Amino acid sequence: MPSMPPEPFRIKMVEPLKKTMRAEREKFLSQAGYNLFQVRAEDVYIDLLTDSGTSAMSNHQWAALMHGDESYAGARSFYHLKNVIDDIFGFRHFVPTHQGRAAENILAGLLVKPGDSIPNNSHFDTTGANIRAAGGNPVDLVISEAHDPELRHPFKGNMDVQKLEQFIQETDVDHIPFGMITVTNNAGGGQPVSMENIKAVAEVYRRHSIPFFIDACRYAENAYFIQQREDGYSDRSIKSIAQEMFSLADGCTMSAKKDGLVNIGGLLCTNDAVLFERIKQALILREGFPTYGGLAGRDLEALAVGLGEAIDAEYLAYRIAQTAYLGDGLRSVGVPIVEPPGGHAVYIDAGAFLPQIPLDEFPGQALAIEIYLQGGIRAVELGSVAFAYVDAHTGVTIHPPLELVRLAIPRRVYTQSHLDFVIETLKEIVARKDLLRGVRIVEQPELLRHFTAEFALI
Ligand code: P71
């Protein structure tokens, strides 16, 4: 098995994990309607549901919490955060939000009209849902290489610039209120976007006067991939790469629960002073005063420190090596994954792994269920449950290009031996994967069904 660098931290506080028996897990899961979002976290042994808001904070962040200024307006903590954002992101204006989807909601609510389209490499679920909720149409224009799980491409999150140009030609630009790119591309295997591609996309948007917003959740991991893989960047610091990325855009949304290394928080940044005034009004209506945006002063302090720690080169080298280690381990026991392993997660190609289960019996969900039953490990389905939709015109169900199960690695939380346990569990599943059956949906809501739908085993 490949080696990885030792964790660049030592552990000062521990949180015990509970091991359960398979029979108990069967009971928990049936009580949860076979939806892993409905399982209690304490009944999970290793929780790889998400890397969002699940990071371990550093001693510096915990100390910063005590400096939180809880003033309603103009808190010192806001200005601490502002200094960091001015330095790394460089956008002229920003507001904190309670998480990423609050920033998306405000942006889509202000700019998207019914019938509008928003291009992206791949919209993540909440981004797409917020655009749809405003009557808009999220459009995914990732390069076609992204749809071939086995293909190794250094920047598989890139947007297809020609497709973007063509889409804009065919659509009235008045119906494209802004365009996006997601770094790294979470819906497409956690794959990075190259600087060259961000530049090309920015140029197209600029030429058509379409404001360009980066979905910046995992910008630090993306910047690390640029440093490692793109010509001309090996000598550049992560911060200077991030600064260059953001200099190409007009604004960004960010769930700080990822590369902000905090448990809650988000950002909405823009260079547009007029838009910023409208953002502040919308924020005051729904989230809070613009100097706290729905967060506590201490949250702002933890984020100011976390943003700095997440661009540390040694931390990022360990972080990305951890993901690669899990990916290499899974591949070596015969599990097909999206190649190469992504930044924050390894994505199992559940469609290829369980070819006996048709897409309308949700192979991804079936695999996520089995991973929990076998090892008490919680993964998330990112396939037909999360992303399939019924075409409004034809009534036909459109399945996403890939049927995936994601094992997301929380930042600074699990060690190499936890990952070895995950690999061991998948090895056991490989041995009897042909026996696995699909699931059907018993109950589901209209939007974002994966969070609350109920399933039954077939
Ligand atoms: C992730 C999440 C959180 C999540 C979402 C759905 C199911 C399970 C977990 C959130 C993102 C994201 C991107 C690229 C915006 C958001 C929303 N990701 N853009 O991957 O990945 O941010 O959660 O702070 O509202 O597990 P928010």
Report the nearest atom of ligand 1 relative to the CA of 265. 24
The span from the CA of 312 to the CA of 309, in Å, is: 5
360 occurs within a structural domain: yes
Q: Is residue 8 part of a domain?
A: no
SS3 category, 179: strand
Do both 300 and 449 map to the same domain?
A: no
**Cβ(380) to ligand 1 under 6 A?**
yes
| pLDDT at residue 288 greater than cutoff 60 | yes
Tell me, using a 6 A CB cutoff, whether residue 99 lines ligand 1: yes
Distance CA 205, CA 257 (A): 28
Count structural domains, the chain: 2
pLDDT given for residue 395 in this prediction: 86
Of 286, 309, 332, the domain-final residue: 309
Whole domain around residue 287: which residue ranges? 59-309
Averaged pLDDT, 156-176: 97
| 295 half-sphere exposure, CB direction, 13 A CA radius | 36
Confidence bin at 393 (pLDDT 50/70/90): confident
| Cβ-based burial of 149 (10 A; exposed 0-12, middle 13-18, buried ≥19) | buried
pLDDT at 387: 86
Question: Using a 6 Å cutoff on CB, does residue 316 contact ligand 1?
Answer: no
Centre of ligand 1 from the C-alpha of residue 23, in Å = 31
Q: Whose CA is nearest to atom 6 of ligand 1?
A: 125
Residues 6+ apart with CB under 8 A from 266: 96, 97, 98, 99, 100, 101, 102, 103, 253, 254, 255, 256, 257, 293
User: Counting atoms of ligand 1 from 1, which one is nearest the CA of 257?
Assistant: 24
In the chain, what is the greatest distance between 2 CA atoms, to the nearest angstrom? 60
In angstroms, the CA 179 to CA 120 distance is 6
Using an 8 Å Cβ cutoff, are 34 and 365 in contact?
yes
- Are 141 and 272 found together in one domain? yes
Partners of residue 366 on adjacent β-strands: none
Contact 423, 330 (CB under 8 A): yes
213 C-beta closer than 6 A to ligand 1? no
Nearest to 198 by CA among 238, 234, 241: 241
Q: Are 253 and 377 members of one domain?
A: no
Task: Give the model's confidence band at 2: pLDDT under 50 very low, under 70 low, under 90 confident, else very high.
Answer: low
Average pLDDT over residues 181-200: 96
Q: Are residues 264 and 399 in the same domain?
A: no
Cα–Cα distance list, 155 to 144, 188, 340, 347, 441 (Å): 12, 11, 10, 16, 35
Do residue 244 and residue 271 come from a single domain?
yes
Query: Ligand 1 centre from 232 Cα, in Å?
Result: 31
Question: Residue 351 in 3-state DSSP?
Answer: helix
- Which pLDDT value is given to residue 346? 98
Say how many Å lie between the CA of residue 270 and the centre of ligand 1: 21
pLDDT at 98: 97
Residue where a domain terminates, one of 284, 309, 334 = 309
pLDDT for 14 equals 96
Q: Is 101 in the pocket of ligand 1 (CB under 6 A)?
A: yes
The CATH number assigned to the domain holding 335 equals: 3.90.1150.10
Give residue-wise pLDDT tens across range 206-263. Answer: 999 999 999 999 999 999 999 999 999 999 999 999 999 999 999 999 999 999 999 9
329 & 303 share domain: no
Question: 15 falls in which pLDDT band (50, 70, 90)?
Answer: very high
If you measure from the C-alpha of residue 380 to the centroid of ligand 1, how many angstroms do you get, rounded to a whole number?
A: 12
Mark whether 130 and 272 lie in a shared domain: yes
6 located within any domain:
no
pLDDT at site 448: 82
Average pLDDT over every residue of 115-132: 95
240 and 300 together in one domain: yes
Residue of 122, 186, 286, 347 to test ligand 1 pocket, by largest number of atoms within 8 Å of CB = 186
- Pick from 227, 221, 231: nearest CA to 184: 221
* Segment among 151-160, 408-417, 428-437, 441-450 with least mean pLDDT: 441-450
Cis peptide before 340 (omega within 30 of 0): yes
pLDDT at 3 over 80: no
Among residues 47, 3, 54, 15, the alpha carbon closest in space to that of 376 is found at: 47
Strand pairing partners for 214? 181, 252
Quote the pLDDT of residue 151: 97
Residue 127 Cβ < 6 Å to ligand 1 = yes
Q: Domain boundary residue among 309, 343, 367?
A: 309
- Does an H or E element contain 266, and which? strand 266-270
Ligand 1 centre to CA of 449 (Å) is 14
Task: Examine residue 411 and state whether it is found in any structural domain, yes or no.
Answer: yes
Q: Is residue 296 part of a domain?
A: yes
Do residues 367 and 299 both lie within one domain?
A: no
Taking only the tens place, the pLDDT of each residue in 44-88 is: 999 999 999 999 999 999 999 999 999 999 999 999 999 999 999
My answer on whether 377 and 267 are in the same domain is: no
* pLDDT given for residue 447 in this prediction: 77
Q: Is 260 in the pocket of ligand 1 (CB under 6 A)?
A: no
Give residue 265 CA to ligand 1 midpoint distance, Å. 12
- Give me the residues paired with residue 270 across strands: 93, 251
Question: Is 13 domain-assigned?
Answer: no
Residue of 38, 125, 126, 382 to mutate, ligand 1, most atoms within 8 A of C-beta: 126
Ligand 1 mean position, distance from CA 152 (Å): 25
d(CA 183, ligand 1 centre) in Å: 12
**100 ligand 1 Cβ < 6 A:** yes
- Strands 251-255 vs 212-215: parallel, antiparallel or unpaired: parallel
C-beta 50 within 6 A of ligand 1: yes
Per-residue pLDDT of 322-378, as tens digits, reads 999 999 999 999 999 999 999 999 999 999 999 999 999 999 999 999 999 999 999
Residue 82 and residue 225 in one domain: yes
Q: Are residues 321 and 252 in the same domain?
A: no
What's the pTM? Answer: 0.96
Q: Find the CATH number of the domain harbouring 193.
A: 3.40.640.10
Is 14 within the bounds of a domain? no
Compute the mean pLDDT over every residue in the chain, rounded to the nearest whole number.
96
Asked if the model's pLDDT at residue 317 lies above 70, the reply is yes
Residue nearest to atom 12 of ligand 1 (CA): 124
CA 254 to ligand 1 center in whole angstroms: 10
Q: Is residue 11 part of a domain?
A: no
